[in-house]
Amino acid sequence: MALIELRDVTKVYDTGDVQVKALAGVSLDVESGESVAVMGASGSGKSTLMNLLGCLDRPTSGTYRLAGEDVGRLDRNRLAEIRNRTLGFVFQSFNLLARTSAVENVELPLLYSGVAPAERRRRALQALERVGLAPRAHHHPSQLSGGQQQRVAIARALVVEPRIILADEPTGNLDSRTSVDVMSLLQALGDSGITIVLVTHEPDIALYAGRVLEMKDGLLRSDVRRPAVRAAPRTAPDEVAAAGPSSLASLASAPEKP
Amino acid sequence: MNPARVIAIAVRALLRNKLRSFLTTLGVIIGVGAVIAMTAIGAGASARVKATFEAMGSNMLVVLSGSSTAGGARGGAGSQPTLTWNDLDAIRGLPAVRLAAPQLQRSAQVMAEGQNWFTVIQGTTPELFDIRNWKIARGQFFEEDDDRAGSKVAVVGNTVVQNLFGPYDDPVGQVIRVGAIPFEIVGVLQSKGQTGFGQDQDDVVIIPSRTFRAKLQGGLQQYIAGAIVVSARSADAAGAAQGQIQDLLHQRHRIGPGVQDDFTIRNLSDIATSQQESAKTMTSLLAGIALVSLVVGGIGIMNIMLVSVTERTREIGLRMAVGAKPRSILVQFLVEAVALSIAGGIIGTAAGLGTAGWLVARFGWPMLVQPHIIVAAVGFSAAVGVIFGMWPAMQASRLDPIQALRYE
């Protein structure tokens, strides 16, 4: 059984007089540990698909099974629990709480799963360690660069030990060099067994995923599997140490460091 | 989530915007402050009224002679003596009456060496000192024997002493004259100040009733030329004493049903009660106005919380995305509103006590702080927080996470 199972899923938005069919019938299986890039022009339905996968919304028809559970039947509270335990979100605009330190931002999901304060702090610091930002744990978002903010956001997604990380244009606000760093980090997480689904409209970012879906007019147009390109970070070694052996390997082949 | 954590999160959110949080609570601060200050001053006024009447006499009733009617012009209470010394003895025997004393009264010029003063001379028996709560400052009261013997002794009030002898001279043992009659001063009364009606109670010379009758009063010796003052056994017995005196005098004066009384009974505890009631009414009115300002403060909180929900829409979306249930969001915003209003309640209590204290110091108003009012005011401000925080909190908890995350 696949981790994510969509069967003939449609999503219709009722905007008063006009009915907009954002998803026109999508069927899709994603296995545990896969890394998938969803591409498509704006209005193709990729954001709607992402919202459904992220349990932020329910399909109009069809079924969505996440780890065997039919999400379409669940209420808001149960959906919140699934988001809390199974999913991690990474957004284009980071969505960190301002005037709140990095480690407190990372702790946020644990607040809603009843983890004791000391344990919460321990796990948040561990997650920051994994993204190479432990030394910045007490900095506020305004004191961090864009790439660092996105890594804090990734740590926040990681901290609940999710099965899936959903990244919506995670490199959209970053320059190309920093984008590679972030993709390298996501690849490392993918190597550690977490399923990655990312939405992007940049073909070179999609290359870092082992499977690329292309959407148009609410339908899947293509579904291509091929070996992923390895992202080579320029990040200093001590900051990536926790990111996994593969990124260390790619670091070794990187031509130069700044 | 545990409550301490929820409160910590709310307080942290509020402290991110200190000035705004303070301005938001200002309405509640003023409301609670006004309630506390108004009730403290109102209760103080009420207590002063009570104290004033207690100083006039404990559980006191005054029995006055009826009015005289001469050629159709009626003279008012006390103008026609109808109460006799036998009436007084009968009143002393009534079960609800603790003590009774005559209070004969006339105004006269009083002379000491080199000074004179126009004052009130009262003739009475020693019970009066007890009934009217007089305390002695120097010397002593005159006694039963002085009354029986018709001694020419006097107990004088503070105002009289000030005017005849000045502040430094000890008047005890000295002699004052009323007309040609000399009286030896045996005691000086402790000052009582004014009555609730503005009369100076210390402007008085008290002498034995027999001396008064023999030396100062002319004619009609079987009648009491003044009033009978009565102390009931307790505050509750004042009404019963009034009834018993009324029945007794009806019987003794042979007044049948439908005939006008030839006496009047004034129950001072009734007057005290009604004065206290009016003070209380005033307090309630002021407190009512203050409560309105508390409600206005609540609306201020609601306004700011609505702004805050709009402003933090993305934060709410994010919290929902990472697993906050609608209920968690509701509780967070509700706790923020209640934290604001309780903080306002506590600061307002301090401000109210400060204001009341300042008014007391500045204008000499009495003040009485009632702990239950403070508890009620802070409790009410918490309730204001819940009531006016509920709507914004519900708005927040009903947000759609997708829309909220996209909100710019």
Longest dimension (CA), chain B: 106
ipTM of the complex: 0.87
CB pairs under 8 A between A and B: 58
Please give the torsion angle defined by the CA atoms of residues A106, A111, A115 and A116, in that order, rounded to the nearest 10 degrees: 100
- Alpha helices (H) along B134-252: 144-149, 158-165, 209-211, 237-252
Q: Is the dihedral of CA A19, A23, A26, A30 positive or negative?
A: negative
Range of weakest confidence among A174-178, A224-228, A249-253, B179-183? A249-253
Q: Does A140 touch chain B (CB under 8 A)?
A: no
Cβ pair B325:A76 closer than 8 A:
yes
Cβ pair A97:B318 closer than 8 A:
yes
Q: How confident is the model at residue B364 (pLDDT cuts 50, 70, 90)?
A: confident
Cβ pair B322:A156 closer than 8 A:
yes
For residue A235, what is the DSSP state? Answer: S
- Could you tell me the strand order of the sheet in which A211-216 lies? A87-90, A164-168, A195-199, A35-40, A211-216, A219-225
Cβ(B237)–Cβ(B59) under 8 Å?
yes
Cα–Cα distance measured from residue A28 to residue B373, given in angstroms and rounded to the nearest whole number: 66
Please give the torsion angle defined by the CA atoms of residues A66, A70, A71 and A72, in that order, rounded to the nearest 10 degrees: 140
Q: Does B4 touch chain A (CB under 8 A)?
A: no
Range of weakest confidence among A79-93, B102-116, B334-348? B102-116
Chain-centroid distance, C-alpha B249: 33
Q: How confident is the model at residue A234 (pLDDT cuts 50, 70, 90)?
A: low
User: What are the pLDDT digits (tens) for B325-338?
Assistant: 999 899 999 999 99
Find the mean pLDDT for residues A148-168: 95
Cβ(B54)–Cβ(B231) under 8 Å?
no
Q: Does A81 touch chain B (CB under 8 A)?
A: yes
CB atoms < 10 A from the CB of B339, how many? 21
Tokens matching residue A75: 């209420």
Strands B204-208 and B263-267: unpaired
What is residue A108's predicted lDDT score, i.e. its pLDDT?
A: 92
Q: How confident is the model at residue A145 (pLDDT cuts 50, 70, 90)?
A: very high
For residue A210, what is the DSSP state? Answer: S
- Give the rounded percent of residues in chain B with a pLDDT score beyond 70: 94
pLDDT at residue B155 greater than cutoff 90: yes
Taking phi first (over 0 means left), then psi (-120 to 50 degrees means alpha), and beta for anything else, what does residue A95 get? left
Q: Does A139 touch chain B (CB under 8 A)?
A: no
- Could you tell me the strand order of the sheet in which A4-15 lies? A18-30, A4-15, A61-66, A69-70
CB atoms < 10 A from the CB of B268, how many? 20
- Give the rounded percent of residues in chain B with a pLDDT score beyond 90: 27
pLDDT at residue A235 greater than cutoff 60: no
Average pLDDT, chain A: 88
Strands A164-168 and B69-70: unpaired
pTM listed for this prediction? 0.70
pLDDT at residue B269 greater than cutoff 80: no
What is residue B219's predicted lDDT score, i.e. its pLDDT?
A: 63
Find the mean pLDDT for residues B16-43: 87
Tokens matching residue B201: 């109670």
SS3 A41: coil
Mutate: best of B314, B322, B325, partner A, most A CBs <10 A? B322
Closest CB to A112 among B317, B323, B401: B323
What is residue B74's predicted lDDT score, i.e. its pLDDT?
A: 59
- Of A87, A94, A88, A204, the residue nearest A145 (C-alpha): A94
Cross-strand partners of A214: A39, A222
User: What are the pLDDT digits (tens) for B52-61?
Assistant: 777 777 688 8
Cβ pair A81:B325 closer than 8 A:
yes
Residue B90 Cα distances to B246, B248, B256, B259, angstroms: 12, 8, 19, 22
Cβ pair A80:B405 closer than 8 A:
no
Q: How confident is the model at residue A258 (pLDDT cuts 50, 70, 90)?
A: very low
Cβ(B110)–Cβ(B205) under 8 Å?
yes
E strand spans, B236-294: 263-267
Q: Does A109 touch chain B (CB under 8 A)?
A: yes
Tokens matching residue B167: 């502040």
For residue B260, what is the DSSP state? Answer: P
What is residue A237's predicted lDDT score, i.e. its pLDDT?
A: 45
Chain B contacts of A90, Cβ < 8 Å? none
Phi first, then psi: what are they for B345, rounded to 5°? Answer: -65, -40
Cα–Cα distance measured from residue B291 to residue B313, given in angstroms and rounded to the nearest whole number: 33
Task: Please measure the distance between the N-terminal and C-terminal CA atoms of chain B and give it in whole angstroms.
Answer: 29
Å from A210 to nearest chain B CA? 26
Closest CB to B1 among A81, A95, A111: A111
Chain B contacts of A169, Cβ < 8 Å? none
Q: How confident is the model at residue B42 (pLDDT cuts 50, 70, 90)?
A: confident
What is residue B131's predicted lDDT score, i.e. its pLDDT?
A: 87
Q: Which comes out higher in pLDDT, residue B304 or B257?
A: B304
Interface of A with B in 197-216 (CB under 8 A): none
Cβ pair B402:A57 closer than 8 A:
yes
Cβ(B222)–Cβ(B175) under 8 Å?
no
- Of A165, A184, A192, A194, the residue nearest A254 (C-alpha): A184
Q: How confident is the model at residue A240 (pLDDT cuts 50, 70, 90)?
A: very low
Interface of B with A in 364-403 (CB under 8 A): 401-402
- Of B113, B132, B220, the residue nearest B173 (C-alpha): B113
- Of B270, B261, B281, B202, the residue nearest B241 (C-alpha): B270
User: What are the pLDDT digits (tens) for B121-151?
Assistant: 999 999 888 888 888 888 889 988 888 888 8
Å from A121 to nearest chain B CA? 14
pLDDT at residue A253 greater than cutoff 50: no
Q: Which residue of A has its CA nearest to B401?
A: A56
Long-range contacts from B213-219, C-beta under 8 angstroms, 24+ separation: B213/B104, B213/B123, B214/B150, B215/B152, B215/B178, B215/B181, B216/B106, B216/B108, B216/B121, B216/B123, B216/B178, B216/B181, B217/B104, B217/B106, B217/B123
Q: Does A116 touch chain B (CB under 8 A)?
A: no
Find the mean pLDDT for residues A138-148: 94
Q: Which residue of B has its CA nearest to A47?
A: B402
Q: Does B8 touch chain A (CB under 8 A)?
A: no
Å from B344 to nearest chain A CA? 24
Find the mean pLDDT for residues A175-198: 93
Q: Does A86 touch chain B (CB under 8 A)?
A: no
What is residue B76's predicted lDDT score, i.e. its pLDDT?
A: 59
